Every structure is written in C-alpha cells, then in structure tokens.
Amino acid sequence: MFRRLLVGWLCLGLATPLCAQESAPAQGGLLAPGFSADSNPAISLILDTVASVNSTQDRLATGGHTPETSGFAVTGAELALSSNVDPYFRLDLAMCLSDLELEEAYFTTQALPWNLQVRGGRFLSRVGRHNNTHPHSWNFVVHPLANQFLFGAEGLGAPGVELSWLAPLPWFTELTVAAQMGEGGAFATRPSTEGDPGWQDLIHPLRLVQFFELSDDWSLQLGANTVLGPSAVGPQVGNRAYAYGGDLFLKWRPLGGHLPDSLAVSLLAEGWLREMEVPGDTWRDAGGYADLTVDLSRRWQTALRGELWRQVSGGAGGDLGARPDFGSDARRASASLTFAPTHFSRVRLQYTLEDVADLAVNQQAFLQVELSAGAHGAHGY
C-alpha cells in the first residue's frame, strides 16, 4: 500500500514514465515475449544522520553530504527509484528530500549492439572510484579532499549523454566517454564565444577501466581518468581546465579455505593532477587518497584513510581569494569503525585529524546512523 501511494504521489508531481508503468497495461505486440511493464519500480528511502564534534571553528568548509558544523545534521535523505521501462531502456532517479534537489535522473539502454550502452539525463560522471557514488556506499562520513577540490562538494554531475563500450577482450575492459553541461568544482560550462555553448564548451569526462581476477582470492581493478572542460574561474572566456587521474582497487577475500568468507581486505588508491587556466595564470595542483578497509565479519568493518593535496604552482593571477577553494595544501587522516546489524542499517564511529594550510589543525569525531528502507540495490565492485 505504501509503495502504491508513493508512486501515485510521484505521478501527480512528476508525470514520469514510472507512472505509466504503474497504471497502464502492456499493449500486445509492443513488448518482448515474457516481459511485462505492469510492475512497480524499486523504491528506496535512505536516511543518514550524523552527530559531530570539531576541535576548532577555523577549519576547512566542506558542505555537500558532510556535516558543516558541530552538533546534529541530516547529511542525506534520499528517495531512489529504478525500473526497467521495457527490454530496451532502464530508468533511474535519485532525489535529495532534505533539499528537494534532483541528484540524478537518467535512462540507460539495455539492448544496443556491439557491446555499447548509452546513458542520458542528469547523472554523476564516471571518473575515479568516488565521484559517481552516493553517501550510503561510503566507508567514511566525509568525502575525500581531492574530490572536493576537483569536482566540488556535490561531485561532478550534470545533464548530458554518456557512451560506454565493453571491449571484446579476455578480461573486463570498459571505455566511457561523456559530454555534460553544468558546473562541478574546477569545471563549468562557459561558451568560448558569444551565444550558445558548443561541443568544446561542455565538460568531457573519460574513463578506462580494466578488471583482472588474479586468483580465486585476489582481484584487481585499474582505472585511468581524464576530465576536460572550461575553467570555472572567469570572467575571461577561453580558459580551460584539465584533470588527469588513475585509481587502483585491490581486494582479497578467502574463498573455500579455513578462514570465514565474510573476511575481506581491500586497498583503494586514487590520485589526480589538475591544471586550471585562470586570467593571467595557470593553477596546478596534485593529490589523492588511499583507503585500507577490513571486513572483520558480516557485521563489523574497520577502515583507515590517508589524504594529501598540494598546490604545485600558480597563484599570481586570477581571483586569488578563490584559490583555496580549488586546492589548499592539506593533509588528513581518518579511522572508522562500522557496525551493520543487517544490509539495511549501519552505525559508524569516525575520527579525523585535518591539517590545512592557513587554518588551525582540526580534530573531528563523527557518530553516524544510516537506515535504508525498501529495495536494497546492488553494491558496485
């Protein structure tokens, strides 16, 4: 009953194809044999609440899905829907209820030839391991420094179109290219000439992923990333921003041995180099993060994170007051302990030590409670 009421409310407010799935019967001959569109979409309600304490007020401003002040905060209240429209398209939507903001709404093709797939709509860009994730899949309360300086507190996400190709190789190899218009951190759509933006004025994320099964217990994923687009610092048009990165994800899980299969250890490392053209100068920055995560059992997990960001060069031109917003010399270390009674609830305790240039050293403590009701989506590798 709750699901039908919620879908009915969405029909009145959004008038999306999801409503047609709920109310209209399938027409004979329009769908593949055995496929029925007369079904409810998978619906999830996800809540993240955090109690936090900071040792100083002279600290880095984060924003986005992270606590901005000491005290209590709702860092995430998300409504997520997903459904197969027909054998050829899938529809996904994610809305932030606390801000009434549309985070993602896109279609995905499911039947293109030559191992091709297209996404269209508003979506988080597939660059690196972290950018296209939502807070309920994080192992820490806050997002990495590198992602904030590169793509902003909300991540790089905007309306656009994306093409993915699964290469016919003995190992998993996928190439993804996209064109999006919007703003994310150091990148912003800005016409290079008067009038509407052209292809060169859009943001272009590219990612190459390769996955290897090293053995029954070991697996490795390698990623190479590039983001090209107009610089977010104006007003001079024609300035560009470039980001080049790589990521590594190594996982060990003993299968069929004497150790429990719930035990797992993973190492994630992601690094970036960015050049950002501004009026009269070029700002260069580099940094990244590394996570070590240990699944002690089905309910307990612990994780460590180390982060580093450095201003490599630049600082004579542009809006110097905005320079720290796109990258300050910073170091941060975090440790978290997570208890998950089921797949639908988690309690996390995290400690963070943060040292940012021209700011006081800040110690942070977080207590997070996360609940998910409804369909439990699959976790990405």
pLDDT digits (tens, 9 = 90+) for 245-299: 999 999 999 886 677 768 999 999 999 999 999 888 899 999 999 999 999 999 9
Contacts of 377 (CB under 8 A, 6+ apart): 42, 44, 80, 82
pLDDT at residue number 12 = 38
Residue 83 or 6, more confident: 83
Confidence category of residue 316, pLDDT binned at 50, 70, 90:
confident
pLDDT digits (tens, 9 = 90+) for 93-132: 999 887 788 999 999 999 999 999 999 999 999 999 999 9
Ramachandran angles phi, psi of 76, nearest 5°: -165, 130
Dist CA 89 CA 31 (whole Å): 12
Mean predicted confidence (pLDDT) in 336-346: 94
pLDDT at residue number 35 = 53
Contacts of 198 (CB under 8 A, 6+ apart): 191, 192
Mean predicted confidence (pLDDT) in 339-343: 92
Long-range contacts, 34-40 (Cβ 8 Å, 24+): 35/84, 35/86, 35/87, 37/84, 37/85, 37/86, 39/83, 40/3, 40/4, 40/7, 40/83
Kindly tell me if the per-residue pLDDT of 38 is higher than 60: no
Report the share of the chain in percent with pLDDT over 70.
86
Dist CA 360 CA 354 (whole Å): 9
Between strands 183-184 and 172-180, the pairing is unpaired
Domains, the chain, with CATH or none: 2-26+39-374 (2.40.160.10)
Mean predicted confidence (pLDDT) in 85-92: 94
Nearest one of 85, 128, 127 to 108, comparing CA atoms? 85
Give the CA diameter of the chain: 67
Residue 19 or 232, more confident: 232
Residue 194 or 77, more confident: 77
Mean predicted confidence (pLDDT) in 348-362: 95
Kindly tell me if the per-residue pLDDT of 381 is higher than 80: no
